[in-house]
Amino acid sequence: MEMNSKAIRKAFLDFFISKQHTIVDSAPMVVKNDPTLMFTNAGMNQFKDIFLGNQPAKSVRVADTQKCLRVSGKHNDLEEVGHDTYHHTMFEMLGNWSFGDYFKEDAINWAWEFLHDKMGIHPDRMYATVFEGSADDKLGLDEEAKHLWLQHLPAHHVLNGNKKDNFWEMGDTGPCGPCSELHVDLRDDQERSTVPGAELVNKDHPLVIEIWNLVFIQFNRRANGSLEELPAKHVDTGMGFERLCMVLQNKKSNYDTDVFQTVISKLAELCGKKYGESEKEDIAMRVIADHLRAIAFAIADGQLPSNNKAGYVIRRILRRAVRYGYTFLNFREAFIHKLVKALKENMGEAFPELQSQQELIEKVIKEEEESFLRTLETGIRLLDDVMGKAKKEKLSVVSGKSAFELYDTFGFPLDLTELILRENGLSVNRAEFDVEMKKQKDRSRNAAAQETSDWVELKKIDEVKFLGYTTLEADIQIARYRKVKQKDKEFYHLVFDQTPFYGESGGQAGDTGYIEANGAKTSIIDTQKENNLTVHIAKELPSDPEATFKAIVSNQKRKLTANNHTATHLLDQALREVLGTHVEQKGSLVNADYLRFDFSHFQKVSKAELDKIQARVNELIRQNDKQEEKQDVPFAEAQKMGAIALFGEKYGDNVRVIKFGDSVELCGGTHVPATGQIGYFVITSESAISAGVRRIEAITADKAESYINKNMDELHELRGLFNNTKNLTKSVDDLMQENAALKKQLEAFEKQAAAGVKDELKKKIKSLDGVNVIAAKVNLDSPQAIKDLAFQLKGEVDNLFLVLGAEIKGKPSLSIMIADNLVKEKGLNAGQIVREAAKEMKGGGGGQPFYATAGGKDVAGIEAAIAKAESFVG
């Protein structure tokens, strides 16, 4: 009986439980506290600190299924997705790890036992590759791995692989080692008898595919390129879950497995088409089914679509899916959000965040879809203009710069531009487009370029102990340091053996301060978390790095930051009380100046609700509840205590619980000893940041006091302007009504004056080549009055070419009105003319062909500007 995907996933995990492995949860797909990664792109990412020696392993044998995303950097599979049968953006990676425990023998034997003995894959269809060695690295053939594979497979099924395929590296530097890949040949027997599978391994054949990679981490790559042996050897394996399902369900494509068919069936129903009948439509359905998973899991992990970094990647994936639906499946309205339920039914059991976050995922996707569909309509209109111009100039190739502007400014995809151009007998200059794209990438790369030296290790440590919950000063030693160059500036990264400095994480900004030894101070300008390592950033290296230092954290900054961090906990409680328990934190920023709190809520928070929320937070502050801290609490016990955990955060087995009265949260940040220290809390803004997600910004303590004092001073000053009236609101309202009445009177006077000006102008009409020209400076000081006058004259004078100059509030103004028939017949364009004429006033402007306006800096140039505009007639 064929196994479904749920059974296959369970079989893998159960197998490694039988081999004494601890099963761990998937880390969030969106990476936090790792400057080198935006997304988890491999199963080993959550174990980087163990491989790097920054953190001891809690268990020496672990296994899991990990959500991964590969759409940026060197692992960029986006363009292949949907076009072939096996590339994906989001995918699951099944893996088992050994941290200094078993090595090649067990890893290879268990891989064989699982795939052959348990899953029944025939040896005749399996091929293993081993590292052939590298002269550059002075490494020979991996004899041990080859010998082990030969116990299971015939010699012609054990192949040598080059460094590209069979030597794994974490990055340019760091842990690395040889690897063995397992490949499966899924071709029909007739094809296999014609061409041996050995000839197609690692040749991108869609049916001879890599299924499992067993990495043997035994070296460290230094910055100079050399290799050194690691003190402990590790195993890191990764098997593509979707590919395993394809093999075990006897399919020729990952997309034919139940992993995707649940969603594809729903999609086919929505668009009224059948999967398997049209290649282009099939590709579109595969793209959408794949991209839906990436988008949904990213949103569930707390990453909303946006215009920068990880959010931009998610927005790009979503827009690509919308575009395929628009072009090939004829969707003109949002549709992807309707597929979330089908995805949840298939994967919600293994990943419960899809169930709990379903409503938010649907709302965010729907809003993004609707926004991009509007963008597509705008882009198509703009592209129509570009094509019209090209055809008018009898060109067959459209400028690559124009296509790039559509892509870069309006988010209009190049492939859609090319498709529409082809339909109209045109093409785009790809070389020009690629030049513009390269310029953009170079700008981004240069902005982010960082040159990092090797760590210089002074003292061996297992992990950095954080002392900052209880003290802001400590005696420390520098355990390691490295030099970093970025944007022509040099910095030093310092790691201490213990530290009172808080590294930026959980939304809280990092500490600043200094370290001191022998009377010399070194400023710490920031503290960051890199994976699990606390990195202190300094502009220079102390003269004696091996000294014992006194580390001192900036007390005032830490205190203000703690005020704001605790205030976010109280705000979270108040939001849930006032708006409802559906409220969930979706992100936060806490520093010494202000706090920002993002939360799920599906409508604008009213003024009355905001007043209640602010009042409740201040009430909680006045209660002066003391901080109750519990460290190393088992996660399950913390949940029983009612502690709020955030989706998208990776929690350890033991957690820190912070309690203030009824507020109970899992949090690693720093807080006030009692809420009264916060003083006062003021909400400064409330806004939407995405569908179903709102943002509140607020201030506390001295910032809140200054804010209130400033507002009170302004109120006092305003009251003084009204002779200290007792009812300021009524006085302001009376003044506004009086002002409105005076405005109406003024408009009436202006109309009267304009009527007189109009009569005078009509007397000045000059006829030039059948055109009635009026060109004059008028004494009107309202742009609206001039516009009204121009439109009245247009209605009363045939073949009108009107130029009006004026001085408005000390600045020059020029308005041009041209009769519609003159625009069509004589090609006159008010927008173009006004731009040229405005140069005489040291200004610029624009508008429509029949009416345009301009401003400037030089009042003395008004007459010359009028004359210049008039010169375009004739």
> SS3 of 698, please?
strand
Gyration radius from the chain CA atoms: 34
* pLDDT of res. 1: 52
pLDDT at 114 over 60: yes
pLDDT of 78: 65
pLDDT at 749: 76
Tell me how far CA of residue 834 lies from CA of 137, 838, 854, 857, in angstroms. Answer: 69, 6, 6, 15
pLDDT for 302 equals: 84
Q: What share of the chain is helix, strand, coil (3-state, %, to 5)?
A: 45, 25, 30
Note the pLDDT of residue 445.
63
Q: What is the mean pLDDT of residues 667-675?
A: 95
For 444, the token pair is 């981004």
What band does 486 get if pLDDT is binned at 50, 70 and 90?
A: confident
Distance of CA 874 to the CA centre of its chain: 56
Closest of 832, 825, 860 to residue 846, by C-alpha = 832
Q: What is the dihedral of CA 344, 348, 349, 355, to 10 degrees?
A: -110
Instruction: Give the best-scoring range by mean pLDDT among 9-18, 69-78, 319-328, 388-397.
Output: 9-18
What percent of the chain stands above pLDDT 90? 59
- Cβ-contact 48, 373 below 8 angstroms: no
- What is the arithmetic mean of pLDDT over 395-410? 86
SS3 state at 719: helix
pLDDT in tens, 555-579: 999 999 999 999 999 999 999 999 9
pLDDT in tens, 420-467: 888 788 999 999 998 888 888 777 666 656 678 888 889 988 778 999
Say if residues 569 and 658 touch (Cβ distance below 8 Å).
yes
**pLDDT at 327 (0 to 100):** 86
**Mean model confidence pLDDT for the chain:** 90
Question: Taking phi first (over 0 means left), then psi (-120 to 50 degrees means alpha), and beta for anything else, what does residue 579 get?
Answer: alpha
841-846 mean pLDDT: 90
pLDDT in tens, 154-194: 999 999 999 999 999 877 888 899 999 999 999 999 999 99
The rounded Cα 835 to chain-centroid distance in angstroms is 40
pTM summary value: 0.71
Helix (H, G, I), strand (E, B) or coil at 434: helix
Q: Determine the pLDDT at residue 75.
A: 44
- pLDDT at position 732, please? 86
pLDDT band at 32 (very low <50, low <70, confident <90, very high): confident
- What would the pLDDT profile of 201-219 be if each residue is shown by its tens digit? 999 899 999 999 999 999 9
Q: Which residues pair with 39 in a beta bridge?
A: 30
pLDDT of residue 412: 79
Is 37's pLDDT higher than 80?
Answer: no
**What pLDDT, on a 0 to 100 scale, did the predictor assign at position 74?**
44
pLDDT of residue 73: 43
Q: State pLDDT tens for residues 220-271.
A: 888 888 999 888 899 999 999 999 999 999 999 999 999 999 999 999 999 9
Cα separation, 755 vs 748, in Å, equals 11
Least confident of 151-160, 222-231, 614-623, 863-872: 222-231
By C-alpha distance, which of 54, 231, 727 is closest to 46? 54
> Cα(788)–Cα(765) distance, rounded to whole angstroms?
18
| CB burial of residue 278 (10 Å; 0-12, 13-18, 19+) | middle
How many CB atoms are located within 10 Å of the residue 699 CB? 23
Res 351 pLDDT > 60: yes
132 or 405, higher pLDDT: 132
> How many angstroms from the chain centroid is the CA of residue 524?
29
Q: Which tokens hold the place of 220?
A: 């460290």
490-535 pLDDT tens trace = 999 999 999 999 999 888 999 999 999 989 999 999 999 987 789 9
Rounded Cα gap, residues 356 and 666, in angstroms: 19
Segment 699-710 mean pLDDT:
95
Least Cα distance to 127 among 140, 146, 142 occurs for 146
CA–CA dist 399, 438 (Å, integer): 16
pLDDT at res. 365: 95
Distance CA(700)–CA(679), nearest Å, equals 7
